[in-house]
A and B are shown apart, each in its own frame.
Chain A
Amino acid sequence: MKAKFIMILSLIIVVIITAGFKMYDQENPWPVPDKFKNMKNPVNADAESLKTGKALWAKHCQSCHGKTGLGDGSKAAQLKTDPGNFSAADFHKQTDGSIFYKTSEGRDDMPGFKKKIPDQDEIWSIVNFVRTLKK
């Protein structure tokens, strides 16, 4: 009886937390200006770009987003906002320009990287690498 109660309670907590994140995402959509949304990625996703993107990902992104983009980095537990799941098909529905904009500008816990990575081609290389995380 007690075990059943704990199971149901755990389930309720999981549902509340998940719904909370979902509601936060829905209530706080991240608008991307059309200029960026329609921006063409000027950097080819060749081996050189992916290597650059991977190195920058390991240095700047991995601690929150995790090694494979699942949002399970070592700092993820301390974040107030959900770092997202970059392997999900939903994430990859957005354009390269949208990912570029979000990486450059940041929001809430997500820092903007346009000052730390002043070379825009390097941010585009991160976008190219992020595309490889799709499952």
Chain B
Amino acid sequence: MKHIHTIGKLLKLLTLMPFILLSSEALFAQDSTAVETPEVTEEEAVEENTAPARKYVKNTFESIWLIDNQTVMVPIKGTFEMDILHRFGTVDNGYKDFYGLFASSNIRLGFNYSLTGRLMTGVAITKSNMTWEGYVKYAILTQTRGNEYPVSLTWYSNMAVETRLKENYIHASDRFSYFHQLLIARKINDRISVQVAPSLTHMNFVYGQFVDSFIEKSGKIRERKHDHLAVSVAGRFRIKEGMYILANYDQPLTRHKTGNPHPNLSLGLEVTTSSHAFQIFMGNYYFMTPQRNNYYNQNNYRDQQFLIGFNITRLWNF
């Protein structure tokens, strides 16, 4: 019982984390401007009687996306970005629907803006369940060349609301869900970057919860929990300038009585230019709203239920 109380407290803290981070933006202002301050040599620093500026590791990743997950990257201040994400159907039907390319597809349009070099905010809409998302991403730490900070640390949170007809919901609050993720990444060398990202999903409504309430009266526990923990392990390998191999694995951690989501395994290719990133890949996740991916994925890589997808990002600097 004590454990449940502690976990509850922790979850509440995680839910409040983005607001804490937003309010602490002023406190981190010194760090965030340091990114854009020209570096000075140690000799110059001695002359000016100041400490040498930190040399930050750059381009750990080339895009805010690593297939279905966010990366630690926050685009530079004043960047407006438009994302087009697309997921086709699974390939396991073969020629019948041309390996999923002619199956029902899912599309996500996203728009975000970097308010500072560390804070990005945006909105997106996904076709599946007509889901709108509002999200914030905050770069807490950036890896430094001298290993003062051996990793980059970024927080990502979103709130999603489904906008289908009200007949699909019992309560208005059933439309809402939340996703929080701590992104920890290290650029190991010029070729390899890796990222580990634990996440927490909260679904206001879960399938079967009203049946569960009935079951609870007979003394049985709920079949599905509203909170779900998962972890993503991902990496990038540079083939040549502007071309990378991407790999990602998502492991669900929370066990539910029924309908446990399957892990996600994905592999892809990324090509980047000055203003674009293009990723094409195969993986198991279809929904693109991260909480729905982590909570509801029923595509199993062991049954070859892979699907083809692509992400396109376009950047403008103001």
Do residues A119 and B241 form an inter-chain contact, with CB atoms below 8 A? no
Cβ-based interface call for A116 (8 A): yes
Cβ-based interface call for B50 (8 A): no
Do residues B241 and A118 form an inter-chain contact, with CB atoms below 8 A? no
Do residues B317 and A55 form an inter-chain contact, with CB atoms below 8 A? no
Cβ-based interface call for B77 (8 A): yes
Nearest chain B residue, comparing its CB with the CB of A61: B274
Cβ-based interface call for B15 (8 A): no
Contact size range, B: 10 to 19
Do residues B273 and A119 form an inter-chain contact, with CB atoms below 8 A? no
Per-position binary interface string of chain A over residues 103-129, scored 1 when its CB falls under 8 Å from any chain B CB and 0 otherwise:
000000000000110111100000000
Nearest chain B residue, comparing its CB with the CB of A43: B39
Do residues B317 and A116 form an inter-chain contact, with CB atoms below 8 A? yes
Given contacts A60-B274, A115-B318, contact A55 B241 (CB under 8 A): yes
Do residues A63 and B273 form an inter-chain contact, with CB atoms below 8 A? yes
Size of the A side of the interface (Cβ < 8 Å), in residues, is 13
B223 CB to closest chain A CB (Å) equals 50
Do residues A115 and B78 form an inter-chain contact, with CB atoms below 8 A? yes
Distance between Cα atoms of A36 and B152 in the complex (Å): 35
Given contacts A59-B242, A115-B318, contact A121 B274 (CB under 8 A): no
Contacting residues, chain B, for A121 (C-beta < 8 A): 38-39
Nearest chain B residue, comparing its CB with the CB of A48: B145
Do residues B242 and A58 form an inter-chain contact, with CB atoms below 8 A? yes
Nearest chain A residue, comparing its CB with the CB of B315: A116
B54 CB to closest chain A CB (Å) equals 12
Contacting residues, chain B, for A51 (C-beta < 8 A): 190
Contacting residues, chain A, for B190 (C-beta < 8 A): 51
Do residues B274 and A59 form an inter-chain contact, with CB atoms below 8 A? yes
Distance between Cα atoms of A55 and B77 in the complex (Å): 21
**Residues from 10 to 61 in B contacting A, C-beta threshold 8 Å:** 36, 38-39, 59
Distance between Cα atoms of A115 and B77 in the complex (Å): 9
Do residues B36 and A115 form an inter-chain contact, with CB atoms below 8 A? no
Do residues B274 and A118 form an inter-chain contact, with CB atoms below 8 A? no
B317 CB to closest chain A CB (Å) equals 4
Please list the 8 inter-chain residue pairs (A to B) with the smallest Cβ-Cβ separation, ordered nearest first.
Answer: A58-B241, A115-B317, A60-B274, A118-B36, A116-B317, A120-B38, A58-B242, A55-B241
